[in-house]
């Protein structure tokens, strides 16, 4: 069974601070996806990383896939209140129809 551990589980920071969220596993994934879920809404896909060592940037968000494709991180620079939400990582197993989801990191950015 593949598992994805996300840390931290909760994070409360002031506007303007930087933060990093981690997603770790002992399993290798074909790709890894990051979603953001706002209260009362469904998860929205932010980015997919595919290649080991890959780094993708989405404005102030930087996503990295580990060299061995077992872990990933999300770094937010100068957090804003609009970044508040639940961040989920999900791993794609080779040939599987199912994604393995982490339990999420709940981020609160205080103005």
Partner 1 sequence: NAGVTQTPKFQVLKTGQSMTLQCAQDMNHNSMYWYRQDPGMGLRLIYYSASEGTTDKGEVPNGYNVSRLNKREFSLRLESAAPSQTSVYFCASSGDRDRSPYEQYFGPGTRLTVT
Within residues 17-36, the interface with partner 1 by CB under 8 A covers 30-31, 33, 35
Q: Which stretch binds partner 1 (CB under 8 A): 20-28, 53-61, 63-71, 92-100?
A: 92-100
How many other C-beta atoms lie within 10 A of the C-beta of residue 98?
A: 10
When the beta carbons of 44 and 110 are compared against partner 1, the nearer one is 44
Centroid of chain to Cα 54: 14
90 HSE (CA, 13 A, CB side): 19
- Binding of partner 1 by 98 (CB under 8 A): yes
Within a 10 A sphere around the Cβ of 68, how many other Cβ atoms? Answer: 11
Contact call for residue 71 and partner 1 (CB under 8 A): no
DSSP 2-24: ---EEE-SEEEEETT--EEEEEE
CB of 15 to partner 1, least distance (A): 26
Tell me which residues touch partner 1 (CB under 8 A): 30-31, 33, 35, 40-45, 48, 50, 88, 90, 92, 95, 97-99, 101-104
């Amino acid at each position: 069974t593949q598992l994805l551990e996300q840390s931290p589980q909760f994070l409360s920071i002031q506007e303007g601070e930087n933060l990093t969220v981690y997603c770790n596993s002992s399993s290798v994934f074909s790709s890894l996806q990051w979603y953001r879920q706002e209260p009362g809404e469904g998860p929205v896909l932010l980015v997919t990383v595919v290649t080991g060592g890959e780094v993708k940037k989405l404005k102030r968000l930087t996503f990295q896939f580990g060299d061995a494709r077992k872990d990933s991180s999300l770094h937010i620079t100068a957090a804003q209140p609009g970044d508040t939400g639940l961040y989920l990582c999900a791993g794609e197993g080779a040939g599987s129809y199912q994604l393995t989801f982490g339990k999420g990191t709940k981020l609160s950015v205080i103005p």
